[in-house]
Chains A and B, each alone.
Chain A
Amino acid sequence: MSQFIAQTLNGLTLAGIIFLVSSGFTLVFGVMRVTNLSHGAVYLLGGYVGYSVIGASHNFFYGLAAAAVSMAFFGLVIERGLLPHLRHSEMAELLATLGLIYVIDDVSLAIWGGNPLSITLPGILGKSSTLPVDHIVYPNGRFFILGVAVVIALVLFYLLHRTRIGAIIRAGVDDRDMVNALGINVRLVFTIVFALGALLAGFAGVLGGTVLGLYTGGDSDILLFALAVVIVGGLGSYGGAVLGSLIIGLVDNYGTAYFPAVAYSILFIPVIIILLVRPQGLLGKVTT
């Protein structure tokens, strides 16, 4: 039982990290119809930047901030420098971001090398505490990650549903042309959303670096999590990202714990089921 509780907590932690990555991915797709395959690479790059800044400043939170800000800037550069030249062709954008993966991965390999790196949490976050249930000893850092993910999920929800910019973003998901026709600067909204997605990915990179580690190929792993989440939850749906992250995070963790030989493949069982039963995803809208 205590094993199961610990695995569930692990799954929720993973779901938190996956949520931070997939929420940006799904928002960018929802608003801009851009499938940013390099989102996983941005996650990993953010983690590496955070690792270096933490190494230099000996402060975890500086690393977290540096990763988030630098990746937001990087997202800004991609959104302003690359995407406008692709004439809003979805497949061209997808392929260009595929090219970006090779560039980011290779440059990361050149700077940080091929050995896996790990980020350690500071102070009390690096310790473990004993839970009242079954006397499970569980690392505080994972609670911290889970808490941060929940807080960010709530902030994003507030942002999307209670603010003007959120209303514009939601309207953009539904009908981009109409938003444009209303005189709103859709171009600026795109940039904000894309930079926000990259910011979240970089942020998640540092948090993920404490649990999953930073390693070559870690970007495609996290990208696949994000893709599974958006298929299950519905491409472009924020609620779908929350729900999908929970499903994928838990399924992956139970799979790794109880069926290690096929863990990675079990992950895609919900994906296949969803595709057969509800191709638009659990909370996705039917596109016309």
Chain B
Amino acid sequence: MSSVSGRAGTTTPQGGGQRALPGPHGQLTLTALEQSRRLAGPVAGAAALAVLVTILTGGGFASTLVLDMLVYAIAAMALDFLGGYAGLISLGNAGFLGVGAYGYAIAEVHSFSPWAAVGVALGVTLGLGLGLGIVAVRVKGITFVIITLAIAEVIWGLAYQWVGLSEGDNGIPVSVLPSIGPFSLSNGLTLRMTVLAVFVVIALLLVTFVRSPFGLSLRGVRSNEARLAALGYRTGLHRYVAWVIMVFFTGVAGILYVFVNQLISPTTIDFSANGLITIMVIFGGLGSIWGPALGAVAMVLFQQELSIYLSRWQTLLGFTLIAVVLFGPQGIWGLVRAAGRRWDALIGRLQGELAGAAGQESPGTGAGPAGGSGDRQPRRRGGWLRGVPGLAGKAPPAGSPPGAGPARHGAGETRKP
């Protein structure tokens, strides 16, 4: 006779006047569940970091692969910051990556010192972000996708055709990398650890941005711009700042790319490369920051490993994207979220039971999330289609989480069929 299992169906009817028997056990289980729920993220992160450090210190082919993943993960996370939170999905991030990479390579060709070349690359990327943002964030939805693609194609066109500057199809090899004192990026281990450090810093920065008041109002702008504007938020400025952050971080990924590969050529930033970064984000899960990093891992594996065994891997890539869009628009991170929701539901149910047991108000009916303290309602984040103008589907998303209660749509969100 115990409700430790936490199943709603096994709630024990309480005898009158008796102290709640499952109390201590239940409380213990609840605490354990809550603690593990709270720690799951940090522990998984620490484990991932440990694995990364192990592989990167080991060197060899695996570490090269991981470096590629980290570089693309930065670009994908930056894209997700704008796409998932501001609702502006870019199809041109390989282009911005190319700006950082070419910025460094061209500065180096013109005999800048390595650190000055890094400065040039960052400056050019930032300037480009600030300048193009004026045009790009004027539009939303489909037009934004088209414009980012157009920008990326201009960058590709310059890299391909302006041979005097970019050395055209051959690309620019880079041999001299920056160094501080005894630490030189020409050293493999130093380079690998630097890339990892930059990845971690940018990931944490993006997560901080997303959770900050700025990130919240950015989501508000996505869900209901008119309301945010009426509340006095400068919605255009929000999108602009998010855009600049996205372009800048992608440029940083580009500088790392050229450090890692020691070559930048137009094939790195062509149409299918642009598509690939967007696919990483969609595959990983839009609006989750960590999901697109996983998407980058998956896509680099796809590209580097699968292509060895399967010559038609691009066909598979295309079908994979279609399948994700059709069947799992939340991407890989959707699975993680589903697990989190189940956990939350379990905790909520247990809380309800304990509350029922302690309160003696309504024996036997205290179970279920509705009886919980309320603040443990399973929270459902917005689907990836929400908020982007004209993007929301007519039908409610399939497979709504059980026990989610009334779906919390963005208040006042208007949908046009």
Which A residues lie within 8 Å of B164 (CB)?
261
Contact at A96–B321, with CB atoms within 8 Å?
yes
Q: Mark A205-247, 1 if CB is under 8 A from B, else 0.
A: 0000000000001001001100110110001000000000000
The answer to whether B56 has its CB under 8 Å from any CB of chain A is no
- In angstroms, how far is the closest chain B Cβ from the Cβ of A202? 19
- Would A272 and B89 be within 8 Å (CB), given that A102-B314, A177-B417 are in contact? no
Contact at B142–A35, with CB atoms within 8 Å?
yes
Contact at B270–A265, with CB atoms within 8 Å?
no
The answer to whether A184 has its CB under 8 Å from any CB of chain B is no
The answer to whether A155 has its CB under 8 Å from any CB of chain B is no
Contact at B157–A263, with CB atoms within 8 Å?
yes
Which B residues lie within 8 Å of A177 (CB)?
417
Q: A261 is contacted by which of B161, B278, B385, B417 (Cβ under 8 Å)?
A: B161
The answer to whether A73 has its CB under 8 Å from any CB of chain B is no
The answer to whether A264 has its CB under 8 Å from any CB of chain B is yes
- In angstroms, how far is the closest chain B Cβ from the Cβ of A93? 8
Which B residues lie within 8 Å of A174 (CB)?
none
- Would A227 and B326 be within 8 Å (CB), given that A90-B142, A91-B141 are in contact? no
Which A residues lie within 8 Å of B394 (CB)?
87-88
The answer to whether B50 has its CB under 8 Å from any CB of chain A is no
| Cα–Cα distance between A225 and B151 once the two chains are bound (Å) | 13
Interface-forming stretch among A11-19, A103-111, A144-152, A192-200?
Answer: A103-111
- Would A96 and B147 be within 8 Å (CB), given that A87-B394, A261-B163 are in contact? no
Per DSSP, are chain B's interface residues mostly helix, strand or loop, or mixed? helix
| Cα–Cα distance between A103 and B156 once the two chains are bound (Å) | 22
Per DSSP, are chain A's interface residues mostly helix, strand or loop, or mixed? helix
Which A residues lie within 8 Å of B237 (CB)?
none
Considering the complex, give the chain A residue whose CB is closest to the CB of B329.
A92
Contact at A279–B139, with CB atoms within 8 Å?
yes
| Cα–Cα distance between A87 and B153 once the two chains are bound (Å) | 30
- In angstroms, how far is the closest chain A Cβ from the Cβ of B79? 13
- Would A227 and B161 be within 8 Å (CB), given that A85-B326, A98-B279, A107-B315 are in contact? no
Interface size on B, residues (CB 8 A): 55
Q: Mark B14-56, 1 if CB is under 8 A from A, else 0.
A: 0000000000000000000000000000000000000000000
The answer to whether A95 has its CB under 8 Å from any CB of chain B is yes
- In angstroms, how far is the closest chain A Cβ from the Cβ of B417? 7
Which B residues lie within 8 Å of A230 (CB)?
146
The answer to whether A82 has its CB under 8 Å from any CB of chain B is yes
| Cα–Cα distance between A138 and B375 once the two chains are bound (Å) | 77
| Cα–Cα distance between A87 and B394 once the two chains are bound (Å) | 6
Q: B385 is contacted by which of A92, A100, A217 (Cβ under 8 Å)?
A: A92
Which A residues lie within 8 Å of B326 (CB)?
85-86, 96
Seen from chain A, the residues whose Cβ lies within 8 Å of a Cβ on chain B are 33, 35, 82, 85-92, 94-96, 98-107, 110, 177, 217, 220, 223-224, 227-228, 230-231, 235, 260-265, 267-268, 271-272, 275-276, 279
5 nearest A-B pairs in the assembled complex, by CB-CB distance: A264-B157, A102-B318, A99-B321, A103-B318, A87-B393
Other than the known A261-B163, A261-B165, A264-B160, what 7 A-B pairs have Cβ atoms closer than 8 Å?
A89-B385, A91-B142, A99-B325, A220-B272, A231-B147, A264-B157, A271-B150
